[in-house]
Amino acid sequence: MNIIVERTDRVVTVRLNRPAARNALNTELLTELLATLQPLDDDPGVGCFVIAGTDQFFAAGADIREMAAKSAAELVVEDFFAGWEAFTALRTPTVAAVAGYALGGGCELAMMCDVVLAADTARFGQPEITLGVIPGIGGTQRLTRLVGKAKAMDLILTGRLMDAEEAERAGLVSRVVPADRLLAEAGAVARTVAGFGKVATTAACEAIDRALETSLREGVLFERRSFHSLFGTADQREGMQAFLDKRAPRFTGR
């Protein structure tokens, strides 16, 4: 297996585990990741995913060895990398816990997650230009939306790496934490998210993602309709009644 999976109550943690290849993201790893997470995605008993690497490597990118000899025709026919669309289609909130290198596809994987926690050792970059190509799993699009054109151009054209502090300043990272606290902090964030109703957390993710893809007017309307629809859920009744009763809510994800 290229991943290690742990489940604690409502949180499922996947640790990428290809240390010899610096957690390079090959097709086998993606297949295992999807086979693990897709069946859990609509399980109301699972409220959050955590994706982590090792202490030194989140992921060193797409697997260069796997793709180096492929022809353009093969890439087109296989629609190489399209499989990652299935990862982005997962609706369960996902926390990336990034320590060490998150390069190329590794940086792109972090950007596909909803919350990105970085250890102070984290280093982000899109070095594909050094390989004679460009990012291929959404890097030119997501990085530009997250950090703006100026920094995206700088990073993608020079291939330079960004440390955790710069990544946080630029808006790529939600929080920076000491490396020895990374998994504990990611677990705490995941438990907090998983403690809320899954209908509401997935609706929040959908609405925030919509902000990157549409006009403000359309996005605000999308948000308002989503807000309206949540009044059809038991969790809305429970959450508001619990507030009025001055007690903790008991969400069921219904």
Kindly list the residues in this chain that would bind ligand CO8 in the complex (CB under 6 A). 21-22, 24, 60-65, 75, 80-81, 101, 103-105, 127-128, 131, 133, 135-136
**Distance in Å, CB of 152 to ligand CO8, minimum:** 15
Active site residue 62: yes
Active site residue 105: yes
Minimum CB distance to ligand CO8 smaller for 27 or for 226: 27
Active site residue 108: yes
The burial class, CB within 10 Å (0-12 / 13-18 / 19+), for 71 is exposed
**Distance in Å, CB of 125 to ligand CO8, minimum:** 8
The torsion angles phi and psi of 102, rounded to 5 degrees, stand at -125, 90
Q: Which of 47, 100, 104, 105 is catalytic?
A: 105
CA–CA gap between residue 9 and residue 190 (Å, rounded)? 11
Minimum CB distance to ligand CO8 smaller for 109 or for 199: 109
Paired tokens of 34: 């999807």
Going through 60-174 in order, the beta strands assigned E by DSSP cover 94-98, 101-103, 115-119, 123-125, 162-163
Contacts of 155 (CB under 8 A, 6+ apart): 125, 126, 143, 147, 162
Q: Which of 60, 118, 128, 200 is catalytic?
A: 128
CA–CA gap between residue 39 and residue 253 (Å, rounded)? 17
Neighbouring CB atoms inside 10 A of 235's CB total: 20
Q: Which of 99, 104, 108, 164 is catalytic?
A: 108
Q: Which of 21, 24, 59, 62 is catalytic?
A: 62
**Distance in Å, CB of 135 to ligand CO8, minimum:** 6
Paired tokens of 36: 């693990």
Minimum CB distance to ligand CO8 smaller for 93 or for 127: 127
Angle between helices 139-147 and 105-112 (to 10 degrees): 60
CA-based nearest residue to 52, from 235, 170, 177, 153: 177
**Distance in Å, CB of 223 to ligand CO8, minimum:** 33
**Distance in Å, CB of 53 to ligand CO8, minimum:** 11
Minimum CB distance to ligand CO8 smaller for 93 or for 136: 136
Minimum CB distance to ligand CO8 smaller for 50 or for 103: 103
Catalytic residue ranges: 62, 105, 108, 128
